[in-house]
Structure 1
């Protein structure tokens, strides 16, 4: 049974040798005997007969041998003997093994075998604070209770060792008084710290697992509420029992371990490994680690520490400081930081802390605007919140944010934000106009990039308030913007008057008519071409439109008329006594004759005289150009009624030519269609005649295919195949049943 130790007796020259069975069989003890006459060996003793006496050799108890071996520094032999203790002494065996491992670890530690020493510390299951007390250079949290080296319990049972004949003391001798001094002199030793790192890394997995379980358990209990109050009290009552069990300060022990491990890694120059610790789940002590990292200028690790502790404000303040230092060419920092690093840090915070994101994004908005605005858009921060913050802290970037927001999805930006963007553009344009107007350099046809954006926004979006914007425009400038706003209010005549009489750009007036025509040119709408007839009347009646423009615009912007419906259109008096008629009536009634100056086609006889009053001249060339370019969108008959009598037919060739060709083509097409319809009608009649010529023979034996009764003299029906006969009543009943069945199936769907 003795695997490690065996008493080997060599009888020669009266010398008794005791050797170990472990190779290389070292000599344990030598006993010199004289006058041995007889020797008798039993299982646990040796009896020697001498000349005048009898002596017995009995084995020393294992407990005593363990004490002797430990005291003499033979720790491996002592540990081997511990394994021979009987099973009933398992608790004694564990205590002795732990004590021997600790003494052996101290012995190895003093002699520079640090890695072997920490292995024995691991085997002893000693508290990590006991091991960390050997490293004065490692700073621990102030609340940590450091376990001093204990008095090693290797006494065992007094009766068990009562037969020991030697005078060896059962108690372990105290540590040398100069141990602390020796450890202090080795605190900077690289091998010591590397051994500590390996020790802590082997311990860390279990500690982190228990600490995480403890945190999860507390969250669950908090969520459950008072139902487990008694269980909480039970946990608190048992706190402190056992070693690092769940709910007994596991996170505190994990904090001690991670704090020590981080320091050891930094002291050995393993900054990358320290970063990996901080990037994962860790319980590093904030105060100690922050101080160490600041002193070492380990900014990347410090950022990760703030991040893992959710101290995002401190992290962003540090990152902003590092970015500023990196911009300085005189800075001696080893790692350069860019504004984009702040943007990357802010991305995960968009959903959890949008206010913090907005606050620190202002610091980099000027240097990397595209990335910052992309952060706002991709981070799902409410657009109203972003707009309000930009308006307060960075007004010059507000419009750009709204532009990108609108470009991504017009429906995602509210009407208020659309109105905000247009007002920003308009404010810039008004400031620009005021500066040039003061210098008397204003030119209505000059377009800056901001004014182009304003015009594009006014035309492209619909969420703003045109009435409010119209009141901000000066009376003697920005006619193009005014025309677009009037168009949004369905004041088409005023808008076209601006293009024609203020801007003097017929192309803009034509483009305006095209937009209105295309927006209204749907199958359900009639006479959408009347917008072109309205432009013709403005060309042919310049005096009237110019004289009434200012008055109508003033009335439009007066307080009592601010509630003008956007669906209404301007009205013009007719000279035929019909009273006021809206342009909308002209656009919606196909058969109504369009003549805002006359209700009779013969009224054109005096057109020229009326139009020439006051020195105004009709714009006949523009009218003819309009007719030639948009002949397919204008009602020819109504357009001819508006033209002056003395208009030459030759001038209308470009209008009437394609119009007549189109009319002739339509007539020919209709004739062809009519002929085809007539031919089809004849074919159907011929087929009907052929079907009616069919003969069905009904005899006395003919049966109904539905009820299986004889047809007889009853009214009957014949199926298209010409051979299936049914009673007419049966046929009707079957059709009703089919209709009922089909209806029920549709309801089920």
Structure 2
């Protein structure tokens, strides 16, 4: 950076000899000489820049020996001076020596610019705090060796440089932490960075540390040789060497400038922004405070701006005199850096500019990043270039203008955009740049800031189309994945691109994403005719929903011809192919009708899936399935009769058996078919057991039992039927009487079935009214055949009588007990008149509503907080009768 200058250097005071230390205060330079004389120079100048000496004052033998270190306590007009191993406070207005802090033992001190002063002695540190307009001694910390450098880090930590190493001391708990050695040179050098970090020199490397001893930065500042001094001059580090000053940036560690000056002994950086040490909070202002306040109020906005520009100035001393190191305004430095294409340093400096409003600063930063991005692209650093384009949310069309080999010019017709002229890329560079572009476009297409552009929808289409083109050229395996995502690719352009590359599968995905399902299915159909791969068309049809029923119906007929077993999946698949899509919910009645008319062999499997898997309660589905089962049964029954002597007889017999079992199972388990309809459709001369169930469902129990008893001769089934239907107090309480009529009534039964009737009577006598039974018993039969039943009835009646007597006596006893308890409560009475007192508050009851507790306590209702707890005795009556009444 030979043409870049961060500082200007000019001499202020020439030929000053034997200087022990110097400092600047306001418009004065205060110099202490080795013989104890004090030289005070007054300067005149505008905008804070001192150009001309207006007065020189000498205070002879101000001290016995020269002052070796000075610091100013702002804004108290107090100078802290170290001389002759003493630390003295001096009034800058009167040059009066105020107070002596240390005597005959001080070697070095460090003032943190706030309220703390640390004085380093040969064997200890002495800590002072600013109180009552002076420094008060607070603590002594012993040391094992002599300190050479002292620096405050924040408010509680001091970094000490010894001859061999650096150490941290926490002044609160006096803990000591060793950092590292000073290196071969054995001379500690340090400078404070922003009050929270410190830079420590070890041989040719300056290393960063914080107040805990940790390393806050992953880098150090490297020098070509060991510096004599280092000092932080925001945002630079200045290294003092024998023949020059070398200036490096703190962030990038690059050399910025060399200033050829020999023999620099001291270097002092002044910051015009002064911390307040005013200890009179809430009290009266002293004269000095008033003076400062008045000065501030007199400054106008322009002066404030100038002062901000020049808030930090450096001064240094060599044999020729005292020089001023004046920083060039940061904005000028930024422009110089941009001109030299040092964009990283320009961005770092731009962040430090506080003379610009935030909006303008951000505009400047954005401009630099834009220029930097173009520069990086030209340097073939494509990834970093795209990173900056992304950061500033640059109009994507500007970025795409760099890719004239990829982006058709017609995309930009009617859209004026600036085009950056870059070098032509070869094939390898083009591919490398496309990889970076893919990452950029992926982030941009999801960016909220994209919506700020007026042509938002057009830009979005451009981005996705170019991204597709980039994938096709470099990452062809990702094309399908990209097209499956929601995208805004230009359909016509994308179709042409995919056809040119022969990417049929990706073309199908494009059609699918754009809702061009007919085109997709035509292409899949073509593929099937070539290689018989039915998986694609099956998966595609399973993706389509109720809006594409015509396509589903059309292509499912073709699919059934190729793969009848897989075709059913098209209609029963409910779950979406993509997790973010809703369920298909195809119209089931329309599908049923289509299958009935076009693919009848799939009707039964479809109905079975709806009923057994999806648990549908639609009676139409249940009725249809049962009728289809019956049609299937009739078909196999006819085959069974005609093929009794054929080789397929066994197979047909098994089919017939299985179909009958399906009918029986369905008739018993389903609750949603219409039995009235089934009675008209099923013939009376076959499937009698199923017909009996239909009759049971419509409440025709007599006819149902007639089938079990007389047609099927299944008395056990008839008994089970009655057991299932019996309701003690319902309409079917006499169901067993109906069954007995089937067994014993000559008008119903051709032959009396005495044995099954006796079996029913003896097993279920408790559920049968004996008086109704007697009317059914045949007169011709011997009574002895029914003696067992009669005995059971008599025993049962006797048991019931005894049970009722026991219950009656228990109820009688309970009634007596209740009456006794009522008498007991009535006897526990108390007379209340106008003079009766509330037993809680002690006031008269009068005509008030009262509450009475089981323990006899009577209180006003208003005195009761909990009706279960007596307010006087605190007894809880929640478990006793009434509790409160």
How far has the Cα of 1:399 moved from its partner? Answer: 3.4
Answer yes or no: is the 8 Å Cα contact 1:376–1:386 preserved in 2: no
Distance in 1 (CA, whole Å) between partners of 2:824 and 2:714 is: 69
Q: Give me the CA root mean square deviation.
A: 5.9
Answer yes or no: is the 8 Å Cα contact 1:390–1:397 preserved in 2: yes
Aligned positions of 1:54-73 closer than 5 A:
none
Distance in 2 (CA, whole Å) between partners of 1:386 and 1:503 is: 40
The answer to which structure has the higher strand fraction is: 2
How far has the Cα of 1:203 moved from its partner? Answer: 5.2
Per the alignment, in what secondary structure is the counterpart of residue 752 of structure 2?
Answer: coil
Distance in 2 (CA, whole Å) between partners of 1:114 and 1:722 is: 95
- Give the counterpart of 2:489 among 266, 284, 294: 284
Distance in 1 (CA, whole Å) between partners of 2:569 and 2:419 is: 68
Answer yes or no: is the 8 Å Cα contact 2:833–2:846 preserved in 1: no
How far has the Cα of 1:195 moved from its partner? Answer: 0.7
Answer yes or no: is the 8 Å Cα contact 2:461–2:489 preserved in 1: yes
1:640 aligned onto 2:777: no
1:413 aligned onto 2:617: yes
Cα 1:325–1:133 change in 2 (3 A) is farther
How far has the Cα of 1:470 moved from its partner? Answer: 2.4
Cα 1:483–1:288 change in 2 (3 A) is same
1:448 aligned onto 2:657: yes
**Matching residue of 2:4:** 4
**Matching residue of 2:515:** 310
- Give the counterpart of 2:754 among 607, 620, 625: 620
**Matching residue of 1:375:** 574
User: Which has the larger displacement, 499-508 or 312-321?
Assistant: 312-321
- Structure 2: gaps (5+ residues): 7-247, 249-253, 258-338, 351-355, 577-582, 860-885
- How many residues are paired up? 499
- Structure 1: gaps (5+ residues): 7-20, 26-73, 153-173, 214-244, 329-335, 546-610, 711-716, 727-749
Cα 1:651–1:141 change in 2 (3 A) is farther
1:199 aligned onto 2:440: no
Aligned positions of 1:395-434 closer than 5 A:
395-407=600-612, 412-434=616-638
How far has the Cα of 1:114 moved from its partner? Answer: 7.2
Cα 1:388–1:299 change in 2 (3 A) is same
Distance in 1 (CA, whole Å) between partners of 2:742 and 2:554 is: 55
Cα 1:396–1:282 change in 2 (3 A) is same
Per the alignment, in what secondary structure is the counterpart of residue 655 of structure 1?
Answer: helix
**Matching residue of 1:473:** 682
User: Which has the larger displacement, 121-130 or 533-542?
Assistant: 121-130
**Matching residue of 1:533:** 737
1:671 aligned onto 2:805: yes
The superposition leaves residues 723-747 of structure 1 with CA deviations (integer Å, 9 ceiling, x where unpaired) of: 8999xxxxxxxxxxxxxxxxxxxxx
Answer yes or no: is the 8 Å Cα contact 1:322–1:337 preserved in 2: no
1:262 aligned onto 2:468: yes
How far has the Cα of 1:648 moved from its partner? Answer: 4.3
**Matching residue of 2:315:** none
The superposition leaves residues 395-440 of structure 1 with CA deviations (integer Å, 9 ceiling, x where unpaired) of: 3343344444444676x52333332232222222233334445568
The alignment's TM-score, normalised by the length of structure 2, stands at 0.45
1:499 aligned onto 2:499: no
**Matching residue of 2:269:** none
The alignment's TM-score, normalised by the length of structure 1, stands at 0.52
Answer yes or no: is the 8 Å Cα contact 2:668–2:693 preserved in 1: yes
The superposition leaves residues 82-125 of structure 1 with CA deviations (integer Å, 9 ceiling, x where unpaired) of: x99xx9xx9xx99x99999999899868xxx8779989999997
Cα 1:107–1:360 change in 2 (3 A) is same
Per the alignment, in what secondary structure is the counterpart of residue 251 of structure 1?
Answer: helix
How far has the Cα of 1:665 moved from its partner? Answer: 2.1
Distance in 2 (CA, whole Å) between partners of 1:148 and 1:690 is: 106
Answer yes or no: is the 8 Å Cα contact 2:722–2:736 preserved in 1: yes
Answer yes or no: is the 8 Å Cα contact 2:382–2:436 preserved in 1: no
Cα 1:147–1:430 change in 2 (3 A) is same
Per the alignment, in what secondary structure is the counterpart of residue 375 of structure 1?
Answer: coil
Distance in 2 (CA, whole Å) between partners of 1:339 and 1:628 is: 68
How far has the Cα of 1:642 moved from its partner? Answer: 1.0
Aligned positions of 1:332-347 closer than 5 A:
341-342=539-540, 345-346=543-544
Per the alignment, in what secondary structure is the counterpart of residue 488 of structure 2?
Answer: coil
Cα 1:260–1:303 change in 2 (3 A) is same
Aligned positions of 1:483-632 closer than 5 A:
483-517=692-726, 521=727, 523=729, 525=730, 528-541=732-745, 544-545=747-748, 616-632=750-766
**Matching residue of 1:45:** none
Cα 1:134–1:531 change in 2 (3 A) is closer
How far has the Cα of 1:293 moved from its partner? Answer: 3.3
Per the alignment, in what secondary structure is the counterpart of residue 366 of structure 1?
Answer: helix
User: Which has the larger displacement, 142-151 or 639-648?
Assistant: 142-151
How far has the Cα of 1:212 moved from its partner? Answer: 6.9
Distance in 2 (CA, whole Å) between partners of 1:253 and 1:641 is: 96
- Give the counterpart of 1:662 among 785, 796, 815: 796
Distance in 1 (CA, whole Å) between partners of 2:344 and 2:666 is: 88
The superposition leaves residues 8-49 of structure 1 with CA deviations (integer Å, 9 ceiling, x where unpaired) of: xxxxxxxxxxxxx99899xxxxxxxxxxxxxxxxxxxxxxxx
Cα 1:108–1:416 change in 2 (3 A) is same
Distance in 2 (CA, whole Å) between partners of 1:2 and 1:407 is: 86
The answer to which structure has the higher helix fraction is: 1
The superposition leaves residues 465-507 of structure 1 with CA deviations (integer Å, 9 ceiling, x where unpaired) of: 4343323333432222332223333332222222222222222
Distance in 2 (CA, whole Å) between partners of 1:277 and 1:435 is: 57
Cα 1:315–1:658 change in 2 (3 A) is farther
Answer yes or no: is the 8 Å Cα contact 1:718–1:725 preserved in 2: yes
How far has the Cα of 1:76 moved from its partner? Answer: 5.2
Cα 1:142–1:361 change in 2 (3 A) is farther
Cα 1:283–1:505 change in 2 (3 A) is same
Cα 1:322–1:505 change in 2 (3 A) is farther
Cα 1:394–1:261 change in 2 (3 A) is same
Distance in 2 (CA, whole Å) between partners of 1:102 and 1:529 is: 94
The superposition leaves residues 197-222 of structure 1 with CA deviations (integer Å, 9 ceiling, x where unpaired) of: 31354356446647973xxxxxxxxx
Answer yes or no: is the 8 Å Cα contact 2:468–2:482 preserved in 1: yes
**Matching residue of 1:46:** none
